[in-house]
Amino acid sequence: MKFINQPQEMSALTAQLKTEQKSIAFVPTMGFLHEGHLSLIKAAQSKYDVVVVSIFVNPRQFGENEDFDNYPRDLERDLKLAEEHGAHIMFHPSQSQMYPAPMRTEVNVIKGNDVLCAKSRPGHFNGVATVVMKLFQLVKPDAAFFGMKDAQQVAILKNMVHDFNMNVDIETVETSREEDGLAKSSRNVNLNKTERQEAASLYKALKKGKELIQMGKERETLLLEVENELIASTSAEIDYIDLLTFPELEVPQQLTGQLILAGAIRFQQVRLIDNITFEL
Ligand code: AMP
């Protein structure tokens, strides 16, 4: 696996791969890799000639009181895992390499930027879209792989590549979970023992919500029931539980079609998100 940290070197390598007619798949991450990330790398590797993985903890997508400093990092372990799972190139720029000067331009997400995580993380999705735009310019991938754990991010980035005529296929991979159902996340290491035991209740509550929808419950009633279930099973503060259409992220007029039931809860140091998307 080739290790690159200079953006210019990444661009030059991409240009060379293009002349060799190689197809390029890209897996952007913030590192501290787990099975979820590795499933993206594996999926990318099964369909494309070259897999580029990036590790960059992007300060622009963290709010002031969020866990940027506390975000877990272990580059040596990540390099080993990425290589073992089929990555060919690891791009790991520093903050100053990615943002050598204050940005004068950023991507402003319009649709889907006032619901779910956007409500409690103002600026987050503009930060995500901006860094992904920059990374796509450097890596010039044919396809980029993202996890459905971050379904709102998927919806927003699909809109971005469409709106800006970017020639990148956004491919998605299902959420990889621990045995008790907790979605794998780099942040899970920052849960204390009790919080870790309670953390799976988010997915359990969402699954119960899905059953209630299938039983024909009204949106407001079932959202309340999911919240009550969470209040009973965890000490975490509920950030939101919501049911929207997917990928439009709009309040459904009726409970049919493709839907997303999503939630976020906040423990002492860790905010967890999860969702289920399904068709009715
Ligand atoms: P992150 O490092 O958290 O920015 O995540 C990088 C990529 O991995 C994103 O596309 C995430 O959606 C994806 N990802 C994170 N956790 C999971 C998971 N449990 N299952 C599948 N994909 C995931």
pLDDT in tens, 171-207: 999 999 999 999 999 999 999 999 999 999 999 999 9
217 C-alpha to ligand 1 centroid (Å): 31
Mean pLDDT computed over 218-223: 96
Looking at residue 242, its pLDDT comes to 98
> Which atom, in ligand 1's list, is nearest to the CA of 30?
2
Looking at residue 120, its pLDDT comes to 95
Question: What is the reported pTM?
Answer: 0.98
Looking at residue 21, its pLDDT comes to 98
DSSP 221-254: HHHHHHHHHHHHH-SSEEEEEEEEETTT----SS
Burial class (CB in 10 A: 0-12, 13-18, 19+), 178: middle
Mean pLDDT computed over 117-121: 97
Looking at residue 265, its pLDDT comes to 98
Mean pLDDT computed over 96-110: 98
Pocket mutation for ligand 1, best pick of 149, 177, 180, 202 (most atoms within 8 Å of C-beta):
149
Looking at residue 9, its pLDDT comes to 98
> Which atom, in ligand 1's list, is nearest to the CA of 146?
10
30 C-alpha to ligand 1 centroid (Å): 9
> Which atom, in ligand 1's list, is nearest to the CA of 185?
16
Q: Ligand 1 site: residues with CB under 6 angstroms?
A: 29-30, 36-37, 39-40, 146-147, 149-150, 173, 175-176, 183-186
Q: What percent of the chain has pLDDT over 70?
A: 100
Looking at residue 193, its pLDDT comes to 97
40 C-alpha to ligand 1 centroid (Å): 8
Looking at residue 99, its pLDDT comes to 98
Residue of 197, 175, 200, 204 lying closest to 34 (CA atoms) = 175
Which of 34, 37, 85, 88 is an active site residue? Answer: 37
Which residues fall within 8 angstroms of residue 245, CB to CB, at 6 or more apart?
251, 252, 257, 258, 259, 260
State the average pLDDT for the chain. Answer: 97
Looking at residue 205, its pLDDT comes to 98
> Which atom, in ligand 1's list, is nearest to the CA of 176?
20
Residue of 48, 42, 36 lying closest to 177 (CA atoms) = 36
Q: Whose CA is nearest to atom 14 of ligand 1?
A: 147
Which contacts of 175-180 are long-range, i.e. CB under 8 A and separated by 24 or more positions? 175/36, 175/147, 175/148, 175/149, 175/274, 175/275, 176/34, 176/35, 176/36, 176/39, 176/147, 176/149, 177/203
Looking at residue 6, its pLDDT comes to 98
CA–centroid distance for 221 within its chain: 29
Looking at residue 233, its pLDDT comes to 96
Pocket mutation for ligand 1, best pick of 77, 121, 146, 158 (most atoms within 8 Å of C-beta):
146
For residue 247, whether the previous peptide bond is cis, meaning omega lies within 30 degrees of 0, is yes
Q: Whose CA is nearest to atom 7 of ligand 1?
A: 29
**Is 37 assigned a catalytic role?**
yes
Q: What percent of the chain has pLDDT over 90?
A: 100
Three-class SS state of 50: strand
Residue of 233, 224, 245 lying closest to 203 (CA atoms) = 233
Question: What is the sign of the dihedral through the CA atoms of 232, 147, 122 and 193?
Answer: positive
pLDDT bin (cut points 50, 70, 90) of residue 105 is: very high
